[in-house]
């Protein structure tokens, strides 16, 4: 019986060297990874003393935060079904006021606002080419009340999945379905939801993709951009929205205050980010951005350094941070000294200008709050703060707008800048006021609080109160 054949020695040799380039590539990748890892480790102080300090820092911060009782969470309630019905009905009334037949939106922030579905919840991988559109139209009841009538344009094979999203509707959702080989937009235009309207006018959300807008426009629809009363629906917050915004923004400020009491010299900006985030998580909030800057690093309003700077005596600490609660954003900023820095400061630290600028920025913020009144303009609010800073001689060092609205997004319209005379303030609008002065290569100061426009009187602070000094942020 013939035994198994063995490879010729030459064949065996060539088999071992069949992919020499791949082996070399893998070898160099492995070496490169080791070098990068070593460089990272060499940048970080991994000594037992450093690890112990950071652990104590985090425990102190979280314990101090929890000791407040987290009372601020009591104003927050996850939006119930009734809240979404109210939002869509408010939208329907706005559509009538603006003379528009329907509002069109695809999954994203605005879709989430009206139907509690974000883009990743619909398409985990990426926004795809098959449109899934929410179409909200006004309908008038026999008693004259205007309510929302909502339909969804959805691929036929995705219809069941759309229903499984459990969107906040009291009844089974209405769908307009299409097959893959159909024209999506003609399918929507030919659907019976339009009644006798021949060329429906659609207002599209600002986040909608261009190819969808062009598809609608070339298939019988008249398309207009977001504006007027429709845009104002999201700008004016409901009581439940304000309750959540109050909770998440107050909780964020309280986390900064708790963390401040535990700071120590030598801690890095990145370590503060980590501890502050874990502190906010202790209240069930979900942090999503941090700007932590020490001393001269804070002269760049949005950072840009590597986070390795260490806290030194005399450094201002600027922290701008945001977190989420029930889908709503916080966005606050404080500039302060650590608990260990004496008040008044020793003369050798020469912080006279820093303290003067800190107060100028606070005065500018106070002036902006006084300008936050119904029927005022967004521009007037910015100008009120900017005038204070200019009068103090730091006009060129205030390099950004005064603020913005916020809600389910950290940055929403209207925007408070000195050219925005078209945006008129209404009761229930929520804004940041975040004036700043940035002296390049020396220091930066910014204060940021969240304000609600009231029917009468001064706008209301909903983030736990203003800073009163660098030692009381």
297 and 226 share one domain:
no
Residues 379, 418: contact at Cβ < 8 Å?
yes
Parallel/antiparallel/unpaired status of strands 222-224 and 201-204: parallel
**Which pLDDT belongs to residue 210?**
96
Mean per-residue pLDDT, 224-252: 97
Closest CA to 362 of 211, 465, 431, 253: 465
Residue 287 maps to a domain: yes
User: Mind listing the pLDDT tens digit for each residue in 333-362?
Assistant: 999 999 999 999 999 999 999 999 999 999
Q: Residue 339 and residue 448: Cα distance in Å, rounded?
A: 20
Last residue of a domain, one of 188, 216, 235: 235
444 and 389 share one domain:
yes
**Which pLDDT belongs to residue 289?**
96
User: Mind listing the pLDDT tens digit for each residue in 133-149?
Assistant: 999 999 999 999 999 99
312 and 449 share one domain:
yes
Find the CATH number of the domain harbouring 189: 3.40.350.10
The parent domain of residue 381 ranges over 236-461
Last residue of a domain, one of 235, 262, 286: 235
212 and 254 share one domain:
no
| Tally of domains in the chain | 2
Q: Could you tell me the pTM of the whole model?
A: 0.88
pLDDT category, 269, cuts 50, 70, 90? Answer: very high
What residues are paired with 202 via a beta bridge? 102, 223
Residue 50 maps to a domain: no
Judged by average pLDDT, the poorest of 103-107, 118-122, 445-449, 466-470 is: 118-122
**Which pLDDT belongs to residue 40?**
42
What residues are paired with 416 via a beta bridge? 403
pLDDT category, 423, cuts 50, 70, 90? Answer: very high
pLDDT category, 437, cuts 50, 70, 90? Answer: very high
**Which pLDDT belongs to residue 277?**
98
113 and 201 share one domain:
yes
DSSP states of 72-84 as a string?
GGGG-----HHHH
Mean per-residue pLDDT of the chain: 91
262 and 205 share one domain:
no
Residue 101 maps to a domain: yes
161 and 296 share one domain:
no
Q: Residue 241 and residue 245: Cα distance in Å, rounded?
A: 6
pLDDT at 427 over 60: yes
Token pair of 295 as six digits: 């001393």
pLDDT at 192 over 90: yes
Q: Residue 104 and residue 204: Cα distance in Å, rounded?
A: 5
272 and 362 share one domain:
yes
What is the Cα 115 distance to its own chain's centre? 19
pLDDT category, 3, cuts 50, 70, 90? Answer: very low
Q: Which residue has the tokens 């060499």?
A: 42
Residue 62 maps to a domain: no
Q: Residue 346 and residue 221: Cα distance in Å, rounded?
A: 70
Q: Residue 398 and residue 369: Cα distance in Å, rounded?
A: 17
pLDDT at 32 over 60: no
Residues 309, 297: contact at Cβ < 8 Å?
yes
Last residue of a domain, one of 180, 214, 235: 235
Closest CA to 39 of 304, 308, 290: 308
258 and 272 share one domain:
yes
Judged by average pLDDT, the poorest of 29-33, 296-300, 388-392 is: 29-33
Q: Residue 473 and residue 466: Cα distance in Å, rounded?
A: 7
193 and 250 share one domain:
no
pLDDT at 8 over 70: no
Find the CATH number of the domain harbouring 420: 3.90.230.10
pLDDT at 65 over 80: yes
207 and 325 share one domain:
no
199 and 268 share one domain:
no
**Which pLDDT belongs to residue 46?**
57
Provide the 8-state DSSP code for 469. B
Q: Residue 366 and residue 265: Cα distance in Å, rounded?
A: 32
């Amino acid at each position: 019986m013939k035994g198994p054949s063995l490879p010729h020695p030459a064949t065996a040799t060539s088999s071992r060297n069949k992919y020499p380039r791949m082996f070399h590539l893998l070898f160099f990748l492995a070496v490169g990874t080791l070098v990068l890892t070593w460089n990272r480790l060499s940048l970080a102080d991994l000594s037992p003393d450093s690890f112990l300090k950071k652990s104590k820092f985090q425990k102190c911060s979280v314990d101090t935060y929890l000791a407040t009782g987290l009372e601020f969470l009591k104003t927050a309630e996850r939006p119930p079904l009734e809240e979404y019905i109210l939002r869509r009905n408010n939208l329907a009334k706005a559509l009538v006021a603006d003379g528009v037949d329907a509002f069109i939106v695809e999954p994203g922030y605005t879709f989430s606002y009206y139907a509690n579905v974000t883009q990743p919840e619909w398409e985990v991988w990426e926004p795809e080419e098959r449109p899934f559109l929410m179409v909200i139209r006004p309908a008038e009841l026999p008693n004259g009340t205007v309510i929302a009538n909502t339909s969804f344009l959805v691929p036929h094979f995705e219809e069941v999945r759309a229903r499984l999203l459990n969107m906040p509707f009291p009844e089974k959702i209405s769908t307009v379905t299409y097959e893959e080989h159909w024209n999506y937009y003609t399918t929507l235009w030919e659907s019976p939801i339009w009644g006798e309207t021949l060329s429906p006018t659609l207002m599209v959300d600002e986040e909608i993709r261009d190819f969808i807008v062009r598809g609608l426009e070339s298939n019988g629809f008249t398309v207009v951009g977001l504006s007027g009363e429709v845009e104002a629906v999201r700008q004016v917050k409901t009581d439940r929205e304000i309750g959540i915004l109050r909770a998440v923004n107050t909780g964020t400020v309280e986390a900064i205050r708790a963390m401040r009491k535990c700071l120590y010299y030598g801690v890095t900006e990145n370590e503060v980010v980590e501890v502050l985030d874990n502190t906010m998580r202790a209240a069930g909030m979900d942090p999503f951005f941090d700007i932590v800057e020490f001393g001269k690093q804070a002269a760049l309003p949005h950072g840009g350094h590597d986070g390795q700077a260490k806290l030194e005596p005399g450094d201002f600490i600027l922290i701008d941070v945001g977190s989420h609660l029930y889908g709503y954003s916080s966005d606050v900023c404080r500039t302060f000294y650590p608990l260990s820095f004496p008040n008044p400061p020793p003369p050798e630290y020469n912080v006279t200008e820093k303290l003067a600028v800190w107060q100028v920025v606070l005065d500018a913020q106070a002036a902006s709050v006084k300008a936050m009144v119904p029927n005022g303009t967004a521009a007037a609010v910015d100008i009120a703060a900017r005038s204070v800073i200019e009068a103090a001689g730091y006009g060129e060092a205030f390099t950004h707008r005064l603020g913005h609205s916020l809600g389910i997004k950290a940055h929403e319209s209207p925007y408070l800048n000195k050219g925005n005379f078209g945006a008129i303030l209404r009761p229930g609008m929520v804004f940041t006021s975040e004036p700043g002065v940035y002296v390049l290569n020396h220091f930066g100061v910014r204060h940021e609080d969240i304000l609600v426009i009231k029917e009468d009187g001064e706008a209301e602070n909903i983030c736990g109160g203003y800073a009163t000094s660098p030692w009381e942020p």
